[in-house]
Amino acid sequence: MNTSISRERIVIVGGGAGGISLASRLLRDGVKAQITVIDPAEVHFYQPYWTLVGGGVVQALDSAKLMKDVMPSGVEWLREAVVDLQAAKKQLTTDAGRIVEFDYLVLAPGIQIDWDKIPGFRETLGKGGVCSIYDFRQAEKTWEMVRTFRGGHAIFNGAATPIKCGGAPMKIMFLSEETFRENGVRGRTPVKFKTPGGVIFGVKEYADALTKVVRERDIQTEFGHTLQRIEPMTKEATFTVQKPGGSQETYTERYDLMHVTPHMSAPDWIKRSDVAVADGPLKGWVKVDAHTLQSPDFPYVFALGDAAGLPGHPKTGAAVRKQYPVVAKNLQTVMKGFPPTNFYDGYSSCPIVTGRSKLILAEFVYGNRIKSSFPSFMPSDTERYDSWLLKRYGLAPMYWYGMLKGLV
């Protein structure tokens, strides 16, 4: 037990994967501090299941538990939302008008879904052939649309912004395409993957493997294509495409089913605060050291998870699993008056489901370098059934009963 740390105020913003896991680890480490978790949510979601919900593999309720059942005993749970942060003053404000002061702050608020950034998206979401797995209820509606689809033009669009789990748009595409084949409508359903990016995946070895899959499945990939607008009445989508030389061309395409990846960003109060990156590719995200996860401007502030401004945007649950122990150790070190000594290597993992019995287990670190957990018997750059079993039956129990308990 660590008895050398005085009872100070640690505030953790966010009751998601990062916040709950960190709070549990700090309690296990015997930190003598008043720990407060701020989050208004009554339900905690295991969001990696939402692609499987949209693909008809699991039920939406399988992804949900009451927040009170995952909140660790021994912390104060403040059921309010943060609306303002002034790290320099060591205080934040909630939507109830409450001012919360802290000695140490950990930001793990997750990512903000900007549903209104694509005109026409919100009003047609969940009907008229437009779906998205990035919401508990909408994931269910996605499966209903895919299951009952009778053929036509199917479009799956990639991300125009950093998103949580960058491979999710492909996962739901592969699961949907498999369903089309099983239902006998694939022959009259051209499937397109349109993405603003220039490659199908940022790590070459995984990009090569995924390119092979889309070719075998006769899926058309279109790079440099960004969704700009949806016209629900005519079921048309407007895209811009980047042309050689830097010019853009605008065109409209009809859809019968379209899975849309919404824009995402750091929460607005983060973007307005003094902890946000001011400019550059990480603008708006929490400014932290890429390895210690500590703010360079406010040494008593740390961040982890989707809101952290990290190179390559490792916004996955697997990344959080590697980040929270680093933050826990570094926070305790800083509380003792020493600089942080533990380092995060940028690890992230994206189990890219390519069907209901196989997936490519993409694992990588900073610099888009592969870092396989089981390189000798589970190669990560090929479709595998054992990797699917890990995703389907292993990762969720590890999350609920290991990670959220501060154990793994």
pLDDT digits (tens, 9 = 90+) for 261-301: 999 999 999 999 999 999 999 999 999 999 999 999 999 99
Q: State how far the Cα of 232 lies from the Cα of 256, in Å rounded to an integer.
A: 11
Q: Give strand ranges (E) for 159-304.
A: 191-195, 220-223, 225-231, 236-242, 248-254, 257-259, 263-265, 286-287, 301-303
Q: Provide the mean pLDDT of the chain.
A: 96
Secondary structure string (H, E, C) spanning 293-356:
CECCCCCCEEECHHHEECCCCCCCHHHHHHHHHHHHHHHHHHHCCCCCCCCCCCCEEEEEEEEC
Cite the residue boundaries of each domain of the chain with CATH code 3.50.50.60: 9-40+79-111+266-346
Phi, psi of 57 (to 5 degrees): -90, -40
Specify the fold of 9-40+79-111+266-346.
Answer: FAD/NAD(P)-binding domain (3.50.50)
Confidence of residue 2 (pLDDT cuts 50, 70, 90): very low
pLDDT above 60: residue 1? no
The vertex-270 CA angle with 102 and 167, nearest 5°, equals 120
pLDDT above 50: residue 75? yes
pLDDT above 80: residue 87? yes
Confidence of residue 5 (pLDDT cuts 50, 70, 90): very low
The vertex-365 CA angle with 362 and 367, nearest 5°, equals 110
Of 1 and 114, more confident:
114
User: Taking the alpha carbons of 92, 407, 299, 107 in that order, is the dihedral positive or negative?
Assistant: negative
User: What percentage of the chain exceeds 70 in pLDDT?
Assistant: 99
CB 370 within 8 A of CB 203: yes
pLDDT at 374: 81
Give the catalytic positions in this structure.
165, 350
The vertex-76 CA angle with 50 and 41, nearest 5°, equals 30
How many residues are recorded in the chain?
408
pLDDT at 7: 79
Q: How many CB atoms lie within 10 A of CB 184?
A: 10
pLDDT at 149: 99
Taking residues 335-362, what's their average pLDDT? 97
122-264+348-400: in CATH 3.40.640.10: no
The CA-based diameter of the chain, rounded to the nearest angstrom, is 68
* Cβ neighbourhood burial of 211 (10 Å; 0-12, 13-18, 19+): middle
Which region holds residue 275: left if phi is over 0, alpha if psi is between -120 and 50, else beta?
alpha
Q: Indicate the residue type of 329.
A: K
Confidence of residue 37 (pLDDT cuts 50, 70, 90): very high
Confidence of residue 19 (pLDDT cuts 50, 70, 90): very high
Confidence of residue 379 (pLDDT cuts 50, 70, 90): confident
Which region holds residue 347: left if phi is over 0, alpha if psi is between -120 and 50, else beta?
beta
Q: State how far the Cα of 330 lies from the Cα of 336, in Å rounded to an integer.
A: 10
User: What percentage of the chain exceeds 90 in pLDDT?
Assistant: 94
CB 330 within 8 A of CB 302: yes
pLDDT at 362: 96
Confidence of residue 3 (pLDDT cuts 50, 70, 90): very low
Taking residues 302-327, what's their average pLDDT? 98
The H or E element containing residue 21 is: helix 17-28
Q: State how far the Cα of 128 lies from the Cα of 47, in Å rounded to an integer.
A: 25
DSSP bridge pairs for 107: 13, 303
The vertex-291 CA angle with 285 and 296, nearest 5°, equals 60
Confidence of residue 4 (pLDDT cuts 50, 70, 90): very low
Q: State how far the Cα of 306 lies from the Cα of 163, in Å rounded to an integer.
A: 8
pLDDT at 406: 98
Cite the residue boundaries of each domain of the chain with CATH code 3.50.50.100: 122-264+348-400
Of 394 and 378, more confident:
394
Q: Indicate the residue type of 5.
A: I
Confidence of residue 104 (pLDDT cuts 50, 70, 90): very high
Question: What token pair was written down for 60?
Answer: 């939406």
CA distances from 75 to 3, 68, 98, 204 (A): 18, 11, 18, 43
pLDDT at 242: 86
pLDDT at 375: 78
Q: How many CB atoms lie within 10 A of CB 282?
A: 20
Taking alpha carbons only, the member of 338, 347, 340 closest to residue 365 is: 347
